[in-house]
Amino acid sequence: MKIGFIGFGTMGLPMAGHLLQAGHALHVWSRRAASADFLVERGAQRCASPADVAAASEIVCTNVTASADLEGLAVQLAPGFAPGALHVDFSTIAPSAARRVAAMYAARGVDFVDAPVSGGGPGAQNATLSIMWGGKSALAPRLEPLFSVLGKTIVRVGEVGAGQVAKACNQMVMVAAIEACAEAARLAEAAGVDFALVRQAMLGGSAGPRVLEVFGGRMAARDFTPGVEARLHHKDYALLMDEANRVGAPLPVSAAVWQQLNALMALGWGTRDTASLLPVLEAAARQ
């Protein structure tokens, strides 16, 4: 297929690379031209503008940071789309933003799918992402050749916006588990017990999820080099708490985790790994 791609960060660059390697004709644009150089050197076609990407592509994929980024980009893409084109967004944004973009495109005969992903950088690099998408069920045959190159778990959750709700639920559970790991590490430390050994024991039991393996391992090693920067989880939590407020869903545990992420940001640690929730607890203990 002729595929456009915009957004070449930790996730987007390897995802675009997989599509190129799979034999699709890739058209790219980036605000910083150097971000796309890796792909252009391997055969991707560089375009002068988002509208040019849309004009050259059957499907345009985007992976940006925030709702405003996506909505602004959609305005630039729209003039280039022909009726029947498709925009697939892999970003984590507000469900309401996804619905607004879909409504704008519908007037032009263009479809929109929100397809946030989970699995982090390693999942993007290994093409093992979990893709949770929202959009018309009739689009599934067009999306399958795209999604199968990028992920292993592919689920249509519902109409446009449902993918973002699913991603909010994913982030809610994951970051709450990171906070639980931090509290376990803090308890072990305060009791004079080596958390590395506690974690080793826990990994063999019913509390041994991937979060304990990855983020707990970083806490035990006191390595806060970012796998995913904490500021991104903070952004995601802002989205999910806003959605909870909109639909009237009480989230007492998430509200507490949200405050811990706020404390992390206040300490200036947004560019560190979210395992930094452990030193947030340590800082509180010293007060």
Active-site positions read 167
Give ∠ CA 188-194-196 in degrees, rounded to 5. Answer: 105
* 1 exposure class (CB count in 10 Å sphere: 0-12, 13-18, 19+): middle
Distance of CA 244 to the CA centre of its chain: 19
* CA distance to 118, 126, 214, 215, per residue, from 121 (Å): 9, 9, 13, 14
| The pair of three-digit structure tokens given for residue 248, joined into one six-digit string | 């009237």
Residue 229 has φ and ψ, to the nearest 5°, of -65, 140
Task: For residues 21 and 152, give the distance between their C-alpha atoms in angstroms, rounded to a whole number.
Answer: 17
User: Phi/psi at 56 (nearest 5 deg)?
Assistant: -90, -5
Amino acid (1-letter code) at residue 224: F
Q: Do residues 230 and 272 make contact, with C-beta atoms less than 8 angstroms apart?
A: yes
Q: State the Cα–Cα distance between residues 166 and 131, nearest whole angstrom.
A: 10
